[in-house]
Amino acid sequence: MMISEDPEFDILSALADKDVIALAKGLSKEELRSPFTEGAFGLDERATNQAIRKMKAAGLISSRRDGNDHVYFLNKTRFHDIIVFLQGLIE
């Protein structure tokens, strides 16, 4: 994955989506295994896939292969990065 020249913008843009927030909350409790034919964390299949794409593009999630499946989990380093950025704005 290529990191953009404005990662803070990418992260904040992704987090402006309510489905991304729902997915992030769910992933903070447990990993998510594909396929998502029934959706995940209260989202339907389409919304889950769109949120996954947005989060991947912003570097908010990572995945690993397990057989034919992908297992998605939060990239906690990116969440830490945005916290540091936001703290820097108010200090």
pLDDT tens digits for range 23-73: 999 999 999 999 999 999 999 999 999 999 999 999 999 999 999 999 999
- Whether residue 3 has pLDDT greater than 80: no
Q: What torsion, rounded to 10 degrees, do the Cα atoms 19, 23, 26, 30 define?
A: 170
Domain 7-90 annotated CATH 1.10.10.10:
yes
The predicted pLDDT at position 84 comes to 95
Indicate the pLDDT class of residue 17, thresholds 50, 70 and 90. Answer: very high
Amino acid at 79: F
Indicate the domain borders of the chain: 7-90
pLDDT reported for residue 20: 98
pLDDT of residue 5: 80
Q: What is the pLDDT of residue 4?
A: 67
